[in-house]
Amino acid sequence: MILAHPVTFTPPTITRANGEVRVQKPITLSELDVTIMDNSKRQSVVARIGPCPFPVVLWEKAAYVAAGDYTQASVEARVLELLGSDLSSGLIKLFSPPVHVKPVVA
């Protein structure tokens, strides 16, 4: 997926269990290496964006059904939408595990 402009970001610093701190080097991308995973049984489409370790959920449940036979263009548009207008910040978020919030049952 070719980007209109290169984006540079620095992944978060890693602190290992032994206390060693590893500062990451900046990464510059002119394109996104996107792998799409479609699971019809779970009704979800996720995208992995290299070199980010965690995926982004493109569609799930009702949105998955509504997306139907999506196209490459619709996937690319959705990826850009979810990453937001500041691509570097969006990509940095994919270096942290997603937070799953359980619904509150009254």
53: Cβ contacts below 8 Å, ≥ 6 apart? 94, 95
| 102 vs 53, higher pLDDT | 53
User: Does the pLDDT at position 105 exceed 90?
Assistant: no
Please write the tens of the pLDDT for every residue from 27-42. 999 999 999 999 999 9
Instruction: Look at residue 55 in the predicted model and tell me its pLDDT.
Output: 95
Q: Which residue range forms the structural domain that includes residue 74?
A: 2-93
Q: Is 99 part of a structural domain of the chain?
A: no
Q: Is 62 part of a structural domain of the chain?
A: yes
Instruction: Look at residue 57 in the predicted model and tell me its pLDDT.
Output: 95
pLDDT confidence band for 99 (50 / 70 / 90): low
Instruction: Look at residue 98 in the predicted model and tell me its pLDDT.
Output: 79
Number of domains in the chain: 1
Q: Is 103 part of a structural domain of the chain?
A: no
